[in-house]
Amino acid sequence: MRKLVFFTLLAAAAAYPQQTGAPKQAPSKAKKLTRAELDNFLAHPEQVLFIDVRRPDEVSSNGGFPVYLSIQAGELEKHLPEIPKDRVIVTVSNHAARAGRAADLLESKGFKVAGAAGVEDYESEGGKVVTIEVPKPSVAAKQ
C-alpha cells in the first residue's frame, strides 16, 4: 500500500510540474521600513521621494501612499536619469520584495535610499493607505 501511495504521489508530481517562472533572486539588502518609519517619512514629504514599482492595476486595487513616482520595476533602470539624486528614496511594492530589489539597484547607482516598503504590510500594521485611481491608457497611447 505504501508503494502505491508513493507511486501515486510521484505520478502526480510528474503530471503537475512546478512552474519555473523567473529565476530565484538573491534577497534584497535594503532595509524593510516599519510603519513608524514610514509614518515619519509621510509626515515630511518634502524630504523623501516614494517610488512605487508596482503595476498600475496593483496601485489601483491595493492603494498606496499619497505622494509617489510610479516607475514599474522592469522599467526602473532606464528611468534613472529622471530620478533626483538629492532626495532620500523609499521604494514601494505590495510586500517590499520588488521594492527591495529596486532599492538595491538605486543604491548601487549612487542614490540615497532609506529602504523598501510594502503597502499591504503597512496597512496590516494599522497604517492608512489611500485609494488611487490610475487612469486607463488611451487608445492613442496603446498604438
Quote the pLDDT of residue 17.
43
pLDDT digits (tens, 9 = 90+) for 47-77: 899 999 999 999 999 999 987 899 999 999 9
Class of domain 26-128: alpha beta
What does each C-alpha distance from 122 to 30, 87, 92, 114, 125 come to in angstroms? Answer: 16, 22, 10, 16, 5
In total, the chain counts a number of residues equal to 143
Inter-residue contact 102 to 90 (CB < 8 Å): no
pLDDT digits (tens, 9 = 90+) for 29-45: 999 999 999 999 999 98
Q: What is the pTM of this model?
A: 0.76
